[in-house]
Amino acid sequence: MKDHTTTIAKIFVVTLAATILALTTFGLGVYVGTRTHASAALPPTPAIAVERALPLAVSPQPNANVQTPSPEPAPRPTALASAPSPTPRPAARAADEKIPLDTALLQEVWTLLQQQFYGDLPQGEEVTYDAIRGIVDRLGDQHTGFSDPKAAAMFISDMEGQFEGIGAQVELAESGGVRLQYLFANQPAEKAGLLAGDVITAVDGKDVTKLTLMEAIVLIRGPRGTKVVLTIHRADQPAMDVTVTRARIEIPVVETKTLADGKIQYVSLSEFSSVAPKRLSDAVNTALAKKPAGLILDLRGNPGGLLDAAVSIGSYFVPRGSILIERSKDGAEKVYQRQGTYLLGSTPLVVLVDGGSASAAEIVAGAIQDAGTGVLIGEKTYGKGSVQIPNVLSDGSQLRVTIAHWFTPKDRGIHGTGLEPDVKVSLTKEDVAAKRDPQLDRAVEYLLTGK
């Protein structure tokens, strides 16, 4: 008999209009949200139906009632405290309280469809999944969502910082299909000659222009060593088929470089996955050991991720006090205090943000802004200030439910409004095409001149 209990882990689900931030695009096998200057220039589009899509390597919190084993959380820096405990689950319904579902009416409708509908009907578990999606969609909350077992497994894989696929970051194309936003260096998509901006309209001959992003990603991803034929549309050129051999991709969560003749250290973070705190702490410690005149933390295009990762990472840059306030609809409040070692010291800090910086990225940026330990440069952030709990269901599918909103340490709400940068600098498509980055240039100038 199936166990209908659920595993619950609290995370900040990064979802844009339909379900996730378009910029965070799950990778097609892709990953979720590696931030790049190119993607930073693209505004989030309202309607991706993936659920990743939440970027992040989710490490479900243990639940005494759950019998299905959960993935072990990735190692955290020794200085960090344990992850926040999950919010208690709602009390179960009384045995005599019926779910308001007229199963007889549903059966009547299904029978009539079988008898009369000119076309194919959904089969097997898809009937149940479609019914669940209908109920969830009726709630009108773009961040509460349902994922079938395949999509849920992809979400967990992304949260763990790796996946098997073609090595690209994607979003839905306006006219249907999947647009490649960013290609990971030396990975299958790039090696096969694909380019950022290409639109995939078919996978192994199957039209994907009417599919959701997640449905298309399921077709594009696959075991390493297997081949997939992608039908590509590029600008005004005729459609062409490109064969790509899938591989195991490790998401480059952190990227570093030295700027201004060694005076400035740069660290970018693409998502708040389970591996992010350790990788970022290593990168920041290495950068600060060089005694730079300033440090740049790039959160542009970062769609967010795990709550405990946000608290840990925020603590690197906030010396005292809290990282965020969480408030449920009944007014109950929880304050997440900083934890672990403060890494920044007295080094001046600039945080780069844009419209693709969301959820956990906004938590960290907001905490730094409130603490006064860094200056935000760029464009207004996305404005995703709600908290979701992902419930792993008995068949491996996942139900994410919005349970609260969060606020900065100074009680600023950003849901639907976003964070305003201290220094506003735009990054246009023309800048990207010309390989210019005025936001990064302004950050370097600020750290070298103090203004």
Residues that are catalytic: 359, 370, 384
| CA separation for the pair 445, 451 (Å, rounded) | 8
DSSP string, 203-215: ETTEE-TTS-HHH
Whether 195 and 180 have beta carbons less than 8 Å apart is answered as yes
| CA separation for the pair 166, 379 (Å, rounded) | 31
Other beta carbons less than 10 A from residue 76's beta carbon = 21
| CA separation for the pair 215, 73 (Å, rounded) | 27
Whether 393 and 6 have beta carbons less than 8 Å apart is answered as yes
- Is residue 130 exposed (0-12), middle (13-18) or buried (19+ Cβ within 10 Å)? exposed
Residue in the structure block whose two tokens are 């009680």: 411
Nearest Cα neighbor of 273 from 310, 300, 298, 222 is: 310
Whether 18 and 46 have beta carbons less than 8 Å apart is answered as yes
DSSP 374: S
| CA separation for the pair 343, 315 (Å, rounded) | 8
Task: Name the β-bridge partners of 32.
Answer: 26
Whether 373 and 319 have beta carbons less than 8 Å apart is answered as yes
- Beta carbons within 8 Å of 381's beta carbon, 6+ residues apart: 353, 354, 355, 357, 358, 361, 362, 365, 414, 418, 419
Nearest Cα neighbor of 344 from 272, 298, 296, 275 is: 296
Whether 6 and 45 have beta carbons less than 8 Å apart is answered as no
Biggest CA-to-CA distance, the chain: 75
| CA separation for the pair 208, 189 (Å, rounded) | 18
Q: Residue 269: what residue type?
A: L
